[in-house]
Amino acid sequence: MTNKQLLENLGSLRSGYSYRSAQDLAPGDNANYLGVQLNNLTDDGQLDWLNVNPIYFDGNPQKYLLKNGDVLFPLRGSRTIAVVVTNPPKNALAVGAWAILTPDPHKVDSTYIVWYWNHPNIHQRREHSLSQGSKIQFISMQDCKNFEIDLPPLAQQTKIVEIAELRRQEYELVRKIETLKDKLIQTATMQLATNYQV
């Protein structure tokens, strides 16, 4: 039988840096950190490091600094997909409506958490039970902490993630093949049309 765990019990879970106004994020001439915000999350669930804005931050950064393997959960907006932090700049801070999880590697794999959170069935459950607000979705930090995850043993987590990744790669290959076939057919039919002679 699958073990169920609350998200807050799977590692260190905290919120992103809550700024008071947009002026707090203005870099000026003394920017010392990169502020990773919700708009740096791409549609395909990646972090767009190239467009992370520099900011000035004069507090203790340890709570907000992003490390390799951390998991980010957007708590506001239409895109609520989680993402694994991979090779972040050393001075990248999570800014705004994020939940940040540094997983306990003895309990859970980062990529498994992201796979589980983003799974269509779980996404639907979150939409109905966690999201608040009509136009702008909002997940409270407390609800995020209390979110239940089915947690098989680590070896099985790895297998699940590997299978899911193979399926994603297969999907991408099929999509690329279909795109190339479309281009080939479009080119061939246009050549037939323009080279036609009476």
DSSP state of 84: E
Residues in the chain: 198
Any residues with CB less than 8 A from the CB of 169 and at least 6 apart, and which? none
pLDDT score, position 162: 87
pLDDT score, position 20: 64
pLDDT score, position 191: 83
* pTM > 0.75: yes or no: yes
**What is the token pair recorded at 1?**
């039988």
- Residues facing residue 151 across a β-bridge: 3
- Residues facing residue 55 across a β-bridge: 33
Spans of the chain, pLDDT less than 50:
none
pLDDT score, position 102: 96
pLDDT score, position 98: 93
Span between the terminal Cα atoms of the chain, in Å: 73
**What is the token pair recorded at 73?**
């959960």
